[in-house]
Structure formats: C-alpha cells, structure tokens
Amino acid sequence: MKTKPEEMDANVKTDDGRSLRKKSEFLRACRGEKTSYTPIWLMRQAGRYMKEYRDIRDKVSFLDLCKNPNLCAEVAVTAQEKIGADAAILFSDLLLILEPFGFGLEYTKDHGPVITGRIESKRDVEKLSGGFHKESLQFVFDAVRQTRKSLKPAVPLIGFSGAPFTLAAYILEGGTSRTFLSTKQFMFSNPETWHLLMEKVSSAVIDYLNGQIEAGADAVQLFDSWVGCLGAEDYREYVLPYSRRVIDGIKKDVPLIHFGTGTGMFLKSFGEAGGDVIGIDHHIRLDQALEVIGYTVGIQGNLDPAMLCCPIDTIRKSVKRILEQVGERPGHIFNLGHGVLPTTPVENVIRLVEMVHEMSA
C-alpha cells in the first residue's frame, strides 16, 4: 500500500525532521554516499565577519553569548541561512568544557582566552577526578535544542568539542601559545601524569559530545586545532590513543568529523585515530591526503581561509582545483582549511557556497 502524502507529512513531523536530514547532502556525504552536489559548511561560519554577529557582540560579552541558548541559536541559524550552507554548526567555544573542571575562563580583547588554575603535579591532576560534571554544561545542551528547534527541519546541526590534546594544551599553557613549551615540557618530563590528564579530559569529551547528540546534534566534529605542533612519533605515543578513545566512545548513530591543523606529517596516524570524515587543513592537497588516509572514509576541506579575501575569480580557480582533486569520489564535504577570518567579506562567503554548489552539480 502506498503511503498517503498526509501520512508522510505526519511521519516527518513526529521525528522532528530526522528523516529529512538523513537524506541531506551533508549527512549523505558523511556516510560516503553519492550526492547530487558537494555539500559545504564553514568553520566559524557564524563569527566576526558577519554584521549580525557583531551587532549582538556589541551588547553582550563573548562568554555571556556562549551561555545564552537563545542568542547562540540566533547566531547559528542566521549564519546558516544567510550564506546558504548545507549544515549549521552550534555556536559555542572549545574551552567551555574546562570550567566544570574548576578552571577559570575569561576572554580578553588583547590576549584571547585566559585559563586560570595551574596543573603542575600528579596530585593536581588527581584532584580533577571529581571535578567534571556534565550538568554544568546544561546551557550548551539547551543551545543545541534551541538551535535545532529554530533551524529548518531539513538542515543538519553539527555539535563539536576540542580534542583531548588541544584542551590539555590550553590548560597547561593557560591560554594561546606559539611554542607550546609548557605543554611539551609537561608531556615529556611527566609522561605518567600526562597520560592521566589525557584520560580525564577524554572521558569528559565523550560525555560532552554524547550530551550534544542526545540534545539533537546530527553530527559532531572533534577539533584538534593545536596538534600540528607535535612530531609524528610524539603524536602516536601521547595523543592518538586518546583521540581514538573519544571517537570510539561517541554514539554510533551520528557521524563524527575528525579535524586537525598541521597534520600533514602524520596524517596516516591521524586517520587511524578514527572518524567517519577526516578534516584536512590547507597545507596539503586533498588528493594527496586521500592517498594517505585511504578511500574508506569521507574527507573535508580545504580552501585556504585567506583566499576568501581575494577577488571572486581567484576564489573560483581555487574551488575548481579542489573539486578536481576529489573528482567523482563520494564523501567530500567542502570547507576551509581553518576558520573564516574576521576581515572576510560576507559577499565572498555567499558566492563561495553558490559556486561550490554550481560547479560540483
């Protein structure tokens, strides 16, 4: 018996659009299925390059914005709809997960994030055992629910977290760093304590991402933004087991994108850590990356963010080159090699999405 149209509509309503989203180009690409065009979303697609975001930030601090589910939803949905991206990403920040451990967190105009609360010994790490409470991040899960509610039913929502190494490095550096000296000194000099710290952070990330999935995220991305500061052998010994542990611990009914910067020198190991889709920065060609990680997973990337500040014809040439590198292979999600830069013209972002759709169809 054929399903009546009104019954189909009822089914879509009862599952809150999940059936529609599973058929989306983005989630089909995450599963390695053939798509009618290459889907695209951008890291930091909701950010300072967009006037609507700046208007909100003129009224509230960054941390207050991150803790306001309604404003988070407004920022995420406005960005997705304005540029026409194939997915929305939760508006949040990598470092919010550190507060439930007892670390202080503030964002300064001149120095970016500042984390207070020192980790200097094994005893300091042991004290973290009872520090993390997922309930302390309820505002993030509420933001997922509100964003999901505000988005069009067919648009997938991506949740995210920092990866264990990147979060541990932020803790040990107390903020941003160019040399990662404190992190490396601690890791090399106190390997037993390092592994204990990574175990605790990994457990928290698993709970955090699964909480976002339970709240309505259709996919999640694990950001290892700082892992490129390591060599290949150090990545395998000090990082890979914990990234793999997180990825293995995530609910299997949603895809996971594993993204890192500067991973070209150990990309095979990075891929071995896991992920349904491997995110590639702009320092390596996608066809070269595919040869290394293999053809059994999806690939995401990888336009240089600076390219979006160039003339449209220049952007088009780069888009064409990236699409040609992947060819007809399914499982490609177009993205930048890192986040949208604050000085990027919003018109260029809109045109990028349009040209990826047009050129890949």
Please calculate the CA angle 90-263-167 and round it to the nearest 5 degrees: 50
Quote the CA–CA distance of 292 and 314 in Å, as a whole number: 28
Q: Would you tell me how many other CB atoms lie within 10 Å of the CB of residue 345?
A: 13
| Structure tokens that stand for 263 in this block | 């991973």
| Structure tokens that stand for 248 in this block | 């293995």
Quote the CA–CA distance of 65 and 344 in Å, as a whole number: 22
The catalytic residue positions are 44, 48, 57, 93, 170
Quote the CA–CA distance of 120 and 109 in Å, as a whole number: 27
Q: What are phi and psi of 65, to 5 degrees?
A: -65, -45
| Structure tokens that stand for 302 in this block | 């990888």
224 class by beta-carbon count within 10 Å (0-12 exposed, 13-18 middle, 19+ buried): buried
Q: How many CA atoms lie within 13 A of 98 on its CB side?
A: 29
Phi-psi region of 119 (alpha: psi -120 to 50; beta: other; left: phi over 0): beta
